[in-house]
Amino acid sequence: MNVHMIEKANLVTYRGPTMVANTLHAAAILLREGADWDWFINLSSSDYPLVTQDDLLHIFSHLPRDLNFIDHTSNIGWKASQRAKPVIIDPGLYLNKKSDVFWVTQRRSIPTAFKLFTGSAWMALSRPFIDYCIWGWDNLPRTVLMYYSNFLSSPEGYFHTVLCNAEEFRNTTVNSDLHFISWDNPPKQHPHHLTLADMTKMVDSNAPFARKFRREDPVLDKIDDELLNRGPGMATPGGWCIGSYKNGSDPCAVIGDTDVIRPGPGARRLENLVTSLLSTENFRSKQCK
């Protein structure tokens, strides 16, 4: 069982259709390569892991392969008037000069052919669902993609809307983005940058990832030391690392069997999270509502 974690850049300032296209393109490459993988996890450069890859692999290897971890809701609220109805055109698609603004040329009605869903732009999507989005053996993925091509912050709606309108996949959703994120109440457009003061909350969340972090923030060193057992300038060690830990040496300098997984405390935290998400009170009752 493999999990591919893809880091993608925010190429468009308003996080428009380019990000969705980038994600689909990266997924298409993985499908074309035919590698042995089960989940596609999108990450940004502002994310950081709170568990090791062995922790993640250990827990996910016990899960049904069709589950899709995606924070979602049909209660789009203010987004109906401010994001769904305006028709957005990115001037960066047509102009050489970079711009931080977007154009609203007209307004449109809410679609009736499918129900809109929104949520976090960060998710772990199953291979069967990615295959459906790329190959699109019915028209839904293409129809929804055309709609979101003129949508503000389309990564916060495209996959959610396809998942919850596809009969084959709507019962595979787990309502979580697997991240610890600190928001204002009510949430603003961007979350807080995490610091050392957030360390306990991050650990207690049992989430495998957190965001946003500033570059070189001291909390990253603390995560490396206390959660990932990662030395400065070294890879996060896994079961395949069979070198010595003595005198600050890198245990991953010597490579053993790459199929060996050695989960640590992070696996227990992640197990607690997944158990809660898949519980009777949280799983079915929070799917595509």
> Residues 77-124: pLDDT tens digits?
878 777 778 776 655 555 545 455 555 567 888 888 999 999 999 999
In a domain, 210, yes or no: no
pLDDT of 4 above 50: no
On whether residue 249 sits in a domain, the answer given is no
Q: Is residue 28 part of a domain?
A: yes
In a domain, 162, yes or no: yes
In a domain, 244, yes or no: no
| Domain-located, residue 133 | yes
| Class of residue 154 by CB neighbours under 10 A (exposed 0-12, middle 13-18, buried 19+) | buried
How far apart, in whole angstroms, are the C-alpha atoms of residue 288 and residue 243? 47
259, with CB counted inside 10 A (0-12, 13-18, 19+), is: exposed
45-63 average pLDDT score? 96
Residue 252 clears pLDDT 90, i.e. is over it: yes
- Examine residue 209 and state whether it is found in any structural domain, yes or no: no
State residue 17's pLDDT score: 63
Q: Which residue has the tokens 């993608």?
A: 8
Mean pLDDT across the chain, nearest whole number?
87
Q: pLDDT value at position 6?
A: 42
In the block, tokens 């990253």 appear at 220
What is the rounded CA–CA span in Å between residue 242 and residue 257? 9
Task: Name the one residue in this structure whose structure tokens are 């009736």.
Answer: 112
Domain assignment present for 10: yes
The pLDDT of residue 12 is above 60: no
**pLDDT 10s digits, 165-219:** 999 999 999 999 999 999 877 666 778 999 999 999 999 999 999 999 999 999 9
For the chain, how many structural domains are there in total? 1
For the cut 90, the answer to whether the pLDDT of residue 158 exceeds it is yes
Residue range 134-156: mean pLDDT, rounded: 88
Helix (H, G, I), strand (E, B) or coil at 123: strand
Residue 38 burial (10 A CB sphere; 0-12, 13-18, 19+): buried
pLDDT (0 to 100) of residue 14? 41
* pLDDT band (50, 70, 90) for residue 7: very low
Q: Give me Rg for the CA atoms of the chain.
A: 20
Helix (H, G, I), strand (E, B) or coil at 287: coil
8 pLDDT above the threshold of 90: no
Q: Which domain holds residue 66?
A: 3-180+281-286
